[in-house]
Amino acid sequence: MQDALARLTAYWTAQGCLTVQPMNTEVGAGTLNPATFLRVLGPEPWRVVYTEPSVRPDDSRYGENPNRLQTHTQLQVILKPDPGNPQELYLGSLAALGVDVNAHDVRFVEDNWASPALGAWGLGWEVWLDGLEITQFTYFQQAGGLNLDPVSVEITYGIERIIMALQDKHHFKEIEYAPGISYGEVFGQTEYEMSRYYLDDADVAANRQLLEIYAAEAQRLIDAGLPVPAHTYVLKCSQAFNVLDSRGAVSTADRAAEFARMRRLAGDVAKLWVARRDALGHPLGQVEPLRPAIAPALPAARAEAAEPRTLVFEIGVEELPPAEARAARGYLRRAVTEGLAATRLTHDEVRVFATPRRLVAVVGAVAARETDHVRVVKGPKVAAAYGPDGAPTKALEGFLRGQGASLDSAEEQDVNGVRHVVVKKHEAGGAAPAVLAGVLAKVVAGLRASKNMRWNDPQLAFSRPVRWLTALWGDDVVPVAVSTLAAGRTTRVLRTSATPLVRIASAETFMETLAVNGVVADAEDRQELIVTGAQDLVYPDGRVDVAGEAALIDQITYLVEAPTPLLGTFDEGYLALPDAVLTTVMRKHQRYLPVRDAEGALLPMFVTVANGPVDVELVRAGNEAVLRARYEDAAFFYRADRQTSLPAMRDRLARLTFTDKLGSMADRAARIGGLATELAASLALASPTLDRAAQLVKFDLGSQLVTEMTSLAGVMARDYAENAGEAPAVAQAVYESELPRHTADELPASVPGALLSLADRLDLVAGLAATVGLPTGSSDPFAVRRAVLGLLAVHRAHPALARLSLIDALAAAGARQPVAVSEEVLLAAREFLARRLEQALVEEGNPVDRIRAVLVHHARPSIVDTLLAQLADLTGRDEFVQVAEALQRARRIVPESTPAGYDPSLLKEPAEVTLHEAVTAVSGELGTAAEPDLFRFTTVAGRLVAPLATFFDEVFVMADDPALRAARLGLLATVRDLGAGLLDWSQLRL
């Protein structure tokens, strides 16, 4: 291991990096060392490499966990400015370390980094070596709240895990640290004792005092204008805070306050540093921005007749996140299509392709030149163009001079019916390369992602750096130049290729050249290779659930350019772990495809998809080792959790913040449990199962496994609860409280589960609406939208809950919040919920008029469903249409403000008396029905159809006698209101 550190250090030193020492106060990561945190600020260049023992009190495991240490070793590299080829330099470092990058599967997998406490973030990747995350690679965008210009590249190697992989060790203690001496022999005791300190023995009061003293010193030093010592005290703050946290002594309020304080201090330090360096005149100089690229010369005009040729335009990028690659492909199609449309170049279809490393547009038969063109330039009116003597006026002369035209060339033409002098200019069409150059430059400049970053280019911004452009029209380079990039005829294929740079003869051979070099540009082709390759590998023992894994397969498709599916296996023993644990690790952490038998049971194997030609045995073994380590980790947590009592796990919730204003997870769990039982009582659905489940709800957030894999919340709760001897129904209810976890997810099957699920989501919506506000646009960090959809789905799925008003329940949830939830907030939430319901119903294909008619029941979505079903049945049936029309007719005649109610003694006409009697009877029969029922209503209210028709035929409503008129209107208003609570009848289109 020490050799590896020395080699990496030597390699980066040879790349011009300074070597400095680790920080001499505890830091959680190399990023905190001033050699990174301060040096990435400001305009000075900086290249550095250093080792940083990184202290994470929370990762203390007494040295027992094979992969987790309270102090692990980072090797940190900063390249400022971005050298333009940091990935290639990085691969060189792996080679220096003895890693054969051609044999291994090295990949750059999207991973963005942010440290709220430092006001810092960046975009980049985890680097995977045969599936193992060995490096964090980040383009630093902001630190201390300041935008970074120039941008720095940060490369952080996790040394222990790299060495474990290279040495094929299964526990960090087994690492050969130096010849004949193991890591455990050297650091084992320290690992144990420092774990003891961080987990058990650190004095909470002392560390709290330390935190305060450090923060005060930091502030004093900021005030004194000394960023360097101030920074060390910010670091000490951070460590003291981490110690308190690992001791379980950080309350919700503390955490929020501390993060805010650290962010503020770090921001002040950063500003001060920048100012100080400025005052010192930037001792290390200043980075010069790259100069704009010069476009290649236009191809010489060709003698031969110019045929249409293919256009190919490739934008070379560093590994894009899958979603961004897909989105960029769409952009490329639009931008190229529109760009071409604005020219007068004829062309065939625009085809676009995207891989992690390139966006390609191919356009067939692009004409050699634009069509020629006559442009009419409007001059003065004829009346104003010539003097009485017929000589040109000054106005005309000026116009002609401006157009460089002679009087001879002046013509006359009607413009909007008025005679004007015009000049006709014949414009020759541009040659394709010149015209295309402009179009394509704009395409590049217009690239944007949902989250953009900067690199060494002074103008461009995109999801990841754009590194090269290839643009050919037929045999000719299209002279595109954008900022510092100029297009050429050289593309880049796989980095591990013998010839990573390849010259393209002509646009027509481009796609073939990529293919020959192993790059599968078309995503559909890649997907096909992945799916068929995977199924071939597992046949006949098992199969990959292609439909079930569609999202994962789609992601993998955009993670590789040259898919190479590989089969790996794992020890059958791990199948004892819950299915969800195994598949979560495979899918989410490793992007492996799970393999199942005919019955759907997991098999001890997986398919991973490497990029390009690799040493299959080596990569397989590497991936298997990674999975084994992850499963070992999971098994470790699983065993530990199963040895922990449920109350002990639940106690840990007090240490988890929900939000700073809404308390801890323990607070939230208590609210959920309380609310669920309250709702159950109101619905007479109380049960011992619910009572017990309400006590346990969310306890598994305090388990180690769920802490590691939050998506397993609920699943593990069920497992642990059953293991702890809870009744299966209780365990199931606790599990179901987390359902649905996403749109297409399973719903709670049991009533206790459904009540807990609702209570969970009601609590979330009420609390967040009152504090953060309801989501608008695409930003929804707490997934309130998903929670509301869950509320609707659960309610709709449980007829037993039909009587429950979600709006009343929301108010009840609001009353339990630690903050006031105002009437306005509840109204807004109600409206939000109604809109989500409406949208869902529309998406389900219901006619809009019916949706609008039933939406009065949005508080009880299952009623909405019932009514919609009834409406679907009744619509078109005469008896219903007649009732509806009758009600409509009454509604149309009666002013809206007229109340239902009248003095029956004033009614004398037979028809009106008959109607009165019918109304009274119907009204009495309808009574206050338990639940809305259109069938019954139609039947009962149907009895009014005939009397009402007679009434309208025989009675003049608007009698002169005001009292009589009021009584008749009141009678009709009563008819109108008979169905008022049932539907918004006005919305129905009959």
Q: How far is the CB of 191 from a copy of itself (least distance, A)?
A: 9
CB of 598 to a copy of itself, least distance (A): 51
SS3 489: coil
CA quadruple 908, 914, 917, 918: dihedral sign:
negative
Residue 266, interface with a copy of itself (CB under 8 A)?
A: no
One residue of 11, 156, 216, 608 binding a copy of itself per CB under 8 A: 216
Instruction: Give the residue, chosen from 147, 168, 170, 209, that forms a contact with a copy of itself under the rule CB under 8 A.
Output: 209
Q: Please report, as residue ranges, which positions from 557 to 596 form the binding site for a copy of itself (by CB under 8 A).
A: none
193 binds a copy of itself (CB under 8 A): yes
Q: Would you count residue 26 as binding a copy of itself (CB under 8 A)?
A: yes
Residue from 167, 189, 743, 822 touching a copy of itself (CB under 8 A): that is: 189
Residue closer to a copy of itself by CB (options 226, 293) is 226
d(C-alpha 189, C-alpha 896), whole Å = 83
Tell me how far, at minimum, the Cβ of 14 lies from a copy of itself, in Å: 10
User: What are the helix and strand counts (H, E) for the chain?
Assistant: 34, 27
> Cβ closer to a copy of itself: 52 or 370?
52
Q: Judged by CB under 8 A, does residue 226 bind a copy of itself?
A: yes
201 binds a copy of itself (CB under 8 A): yes
275 binding a copy of itself? (CB under 8 A): no
Q: Tokens for 627?
A: 């999975």
Of 93, 92, 151, residue with least CA distance to 123: 151
| Residue 430 per-residue DSSP state | P
Please report whether residue 228 would count as binding a copy of itself according to CB under 8 A: yes
Tell me how far apart the alpha carbons of residues 736 and 718 are, in angstroms, rounded to a whole number: 9
Residue 70 interacts with a copy of itself (CB under 8 A): yes or no: no
863 binds a copy of itself (CB under 8 A): no
Using the contact rule CB under 8 A, the part of the chain among 128-136, 203-211, 704-712, 875-883 near a copy of itself is 203-211
By CB under 8 A, tell whether 73 contacts a copy of itself.
yes
Q: Considering the rule CB under 8 A, would residue 738 count as an interface residue with a copy of itself?
A: no
Stretch that binds a copy of itself, among 56-64, 224-232, 547-555, 568-576 (CB under 8 A): 224-232
The interface region with a copy of itself, picked from 16-24, 89-97, 337-345, 859-867 by CB under 8 A, is 16-24
Contacts of residue 179, defined as CB under 8 A and 6 or more positions apart, other chains included, come to none
CB of 76 to a copy of itself, least distance (A): 12
CB of 73 to a copy of itself, least distance (A): 8
- 648 touches a copy of itself by CB under 8 A: no
13 within 8 A of 7, measured Cβ to Cβ: no
* Token couple for 867: 């009514």
Closer to a copy of itself by Cβ: residue 20 or 911: 20
Q: Which stretch binds a copy of itself (CB under 8 A): 114-122, 200-208, 350-358, 616-624?
A: 200-208
Q: Supply the minimum distance, in Å, between the C-beta of residue 262 and a copy of itself.
A: 18
Rounded Cα distance between 62 and 82, Å, is: 40
The rounded distance, in Å, linking the Cα atoms of 892 and 239 is 73
Q: How far apart are CA 723 and CA 645, in angstroms?
A: 10
Count of alpha carbons within 13 angstroms of residue 363, beta-carbon side:
29
Q: Which is nearer to a copy of itself, 2 or 711 (CB)?
A: 2
Neighbours of 191 (CB within 10 A): 25
280 binds a copy of itself, rule: CB under 8 A = yes
- Total of residues contacting a copy of itself (CB under 8 A): 58
Contact by Cβ (8 Å): 143, 270: yes
Residue 154's nearest CA partner among 273, 281, 47 is: 47
Residue range at the interface with a copy of itself (CB under 8 A); choices 7-15, 122-130, 290-298, 810-818: 7-15
Choice between 80 and 620, CB closer to a copy of itself: 80
* Window of 212-220, 520-528, 780-788, 836-844 that interacts with a copy of itself by CB under 8 A: 212-220
Q: Binding a copy of itself by CB under 8 A: which of 31, 42, 43, 51?
A: 51
Q: CA 417 → CA 254, 410, 423, 699, distances in Å?
A: 77, 18, 17, 81
Query: Site for a copy of itself (CB under 8 A): which residue of 171, 271, 276, 326?
Result: 276
Residue with tokens 């409206």: 831
Tell which positions 27-46 bind a copy of itself, by CB under 8 A.
27, 34
Q: Name the segment binding a copy of itself (CB under 8 A); options: 81-89, 179-187, 692-700, 959-967.
A: 179-187
How far are the Cα atoms of 494, 521, 745 from residue 328, in angstroms, in the given order? 21, 14, 29
Chain-centroid distance of CA 393 in Å reads: 66
Question: Which of 828, 840, 850 has its CA nearest to residue 791?
Answer: 840
Q: Does 194 bind a copy of itself (CB under 8 A)?
A: yes
Stretch that binds a copy of itself, among 94-102, 273-281, 613-621, 906-914 (CB under 8 A): 273-281
Chain centroid to CA 707 = 21
204 part of the interface to a copy of itself, by CB under 8 A:
no
Distance of closest approach, residue 146 Cβ to a copy of itself, in angstroms: 18
DSSP string, 812-851: HHHHTSSS---HHHHHHHHHHHHHHHHHHHHHTT--HHHH
Q: Would strands 18-19 and 46-55 be described as parallel, antiparallel, or unpaired?
A: parallel
25 binds a copy of itself (CB under 8 A): yes
> How far is it, in rounded angstroms, from Cα 514 to Cα 587?
29
DSSP for 934-971, written as a single string: HHHHHHHHGGGHHHHHHHHHH--SS-SSHHHHHHHHHH
Return the residue matching tokens 């509301």.
788
* CA-based torsion, 669, 693, 734, 774: positive or negative: negative
Residue 754, amino acid: A
Residues within the interface to a copy of itself (CB under 8 A) = 2-3, 5-6, 9-10, 13, 16, 18-27, 34, 51, 53, 55, 73, 177-179, 181, 184-186, 188-190, 193-194, 196-197, 201-203, 206, 209-210, 213, 216-217, 220-221, 224, 226-229, 276-277, 280, 283-284
